[in-house]
Structure 1
Amino acid sequence: MNKKIFISFHYDRDAWRAAQVRNHPDMQYSFHKTELLDAAKWDKLKQKGDIAIKNWIKCQLEGSTVTIVLIGKETAQRRFIKYEIEQSYYRGNGLIGIYIHKLKNQFGYSDEKGENPFEHFYLHHDYLNPLTKHTKTYDWIDDNGPKNISSWIEDAAKSTLRKHACY
């Protein structure tokens, strides 16, 4: 397998849920994942401003082959997630979305389902051709993510969707 995975998620709201996916055994031992910032490092990076954050994202994407967007309630509205999707797409990474709203947070609560963030991107400047038509999304709970994550990543890595104009 040996794929480098970039994992995109809304840090403040979904870090606990994202950790459950990142720490799954298949993710731990089968794939190389990009760095996960702890709260202190994230706060320090945010203080440096947008350019520093974008540079960090580009650095983390370097060498990655698949980007997983973990979709929570507010994911689609986050500007840096939009930037991560855009940069991943331009790099030719395989893209997948995984809904994580049913996972419980550190306080034992699940969340409401969020909007698909891929709906904000279009191929070839064609508003009738959203990225959602070409990018698979799954639900970690309903689609048995613990059993299927490896095959989802492999499918995304083989995706024929590559290097189209996207905005």
Structure 2
Amino acid sequence: MASSVFYSFHYERDVNRVQLVQNINALEGQPLLTPQAWESVRRRGTAAVAEWIDEQMKYKKAVIVLVGRETASRDWVQYEINKAWADKRPLLGIAIHGLSSFGSVDSAGPNPFDAAGLPASRIPLFDPTQRDYLGRIDSKATYTRLADSLVTWSTMGVVRK
């Protein structure tokens, strides 16, 4: 898979975790909007949001869903998953709940591919989450595993034929 990807995620809850993923600098993703810019797009209505997504996804070679606790329930994530599937773009998921956002980690969320009605068993969902000897999520070790694995995992997305 190429180094140019579209990241799908729940903006309000996970943007800080997504910034960590982008800071790995292993893949080229779409620019992250500031909260004000995202609100500006959203205020223009659903057609404007869909247009922004379509334009950002247009030249990307794959779609990576960055899965947090509430990602599966987000309408725009579902739109992005279904668009990737319809466009026959490579598609995969990576769990990000184990990355730190302002010093705290989150719990895992449901599989967003199930929620989209796609054959989730065929779409890889990687989880870099690492735990310490007490079973607590170790966000630094999780980040290191993600950094070490991101490029490899990005080559394993499912392409619909």
Deviations 1:110-143 (A, max 9, x none): 1111011000234xxxxxxx42111101113348
Q: Which residue of 2 aligns with 1:13?
A: 13
Q: Which residue of 1 aligns with 2:133?
A: none
SS at 2:53 equivalent: helix
Equivalent residue number for residue 134 of structure 2: none
Q: Which runs of 4+ in 1 moved over 4 A?
A: none
Alignment of 1:11-160 (within 5 A): 11-27=11-27, 32-106=28-102, 108-122=103-117, 130-142=118-130, 144-156=145-157, 159=158
- d(CA) in 2 for partners of 1:40 and 1:121? 28
* Correspondence for 2:138: none
- Extract unaligned runs of 5+ from structure 1: 123-129
Instruction: Report if the CA contact (8 A) 1:140-1:146 is conserved.
Output: no
Cα-to-partner distance string for 1:78-105 (whole Å, 9 max, x where unaligned): 0000000000111111111111111111
Residue identity matched to 1:43: E
Q: Identity across aligned pairs (percent)?
A: 31
Give, in angstroms, the shift of residue 2 of structure 1.
Answer: 4.4
Question: Does 1:3 pair with 2:3?
Answer: yes
Contact 1:102 1:141 survives alignment (8 Å):
yes
What are structure 2's unaligned runs of at least 5 residues?
131-141
TM-score by length of 1: 0.82
User: Structure 2 CA distance, aligned partners of 1:131 and 1:41?
Assistant: 34
Instruction: Determine the C-alpha separation between the residues in 1 that align with 2:116 and 2:105.
Output: 27
